[in-house]
Amino acid sequence: MAHGIVTADQMQQAFTSRLTNTYEPPGTLRDGGTPRHDNDFTDIRDIRIAPTHEELLCPLPPYLPVFLPMAPHHHPVNSMQRHLDIQFRLLREEMMYVLIPNIFLLHIDFFCLLIEVLPSDKPSER
């Protein structure tokens, strides 16, 4: 049985199809119109730079657009809005990638300090 050769055009179509099938738009553009968290907006002007508490605890992956012309996006192809949207979201995620583990470590440290400071249920020995 001979195997067919996959052409570059077929690989491009498969890649574009996969991007389209896995596309999960931002904010209220998602299925059901429900954002991932309280800082998930369609318009980047509404997104806070610093992550919110709800965003930090969100189990869903963030919206990270693919910077390719054939990739699905909520702004028109070759538009300045699309370019700025992609750059903002990717740069913000790069910053948060470093920040989030450190925030969780701080959270654990504060929790440990709180446990040490809280009174114990045991009666104190005199």
17: in domain: no
DSSP string for the chain: -PPPPPPHHHHHHHHHHHHHHH---SGGGSGGG--SSTT--SSGGGS-SSPPHHHHH--SPP-----STTS--SS-TT-HHHHHHHHHHHHHHHHHHHHHHHHHHHHHHHHHHHHHHSPPSSPPP-
Q: What is the pLDDT of residue 121?
A: 65
2: in domain: no
Q: Which domain holds residue 79?
A: 22-117
77: in domain: yes
Token pair in block for residue 94: 């790069």
Q: What is the pLDDT of residue 120?
A: 67
pTM assigned to the model: 0.73
89: in domain: yes
Q: How many domains does the chain have?
A: 1
Q: What is the pLDDT of residue 36?
A: 96
Q: What is the pLDDT of residue 103?
A: 78
Q: How far apart are CA 88 and CA 94, in angstroms?
A: 10
69: in domain: yes
Q: What is the pLDDT of residue 2?
A: 56
pLDDT (tens digit, 0 to 9) for every residue of the chain, 126 residues total?
557 898 999 999 999 999 999 899 999 999 899 999 999 999 999 999 989 989 988 889 999 999 888 899 999 999 999 999 999 999 999 988 888 788 778 888 888 888 887 776 666 554
Token pair in block for residue 48: 């806070």
13: in domain: no
Q: What is the pLDDT of residue 123?
A: 60
Q: What is the pLDDT of residue 124?
A: 57
Q: What is the pLDDT of residue 88?
A: 97
51: in domain: yes
Say how many residues make up the chain. 126
Half-sphere exposure of 118 (CA within 13 A, CB side): 9
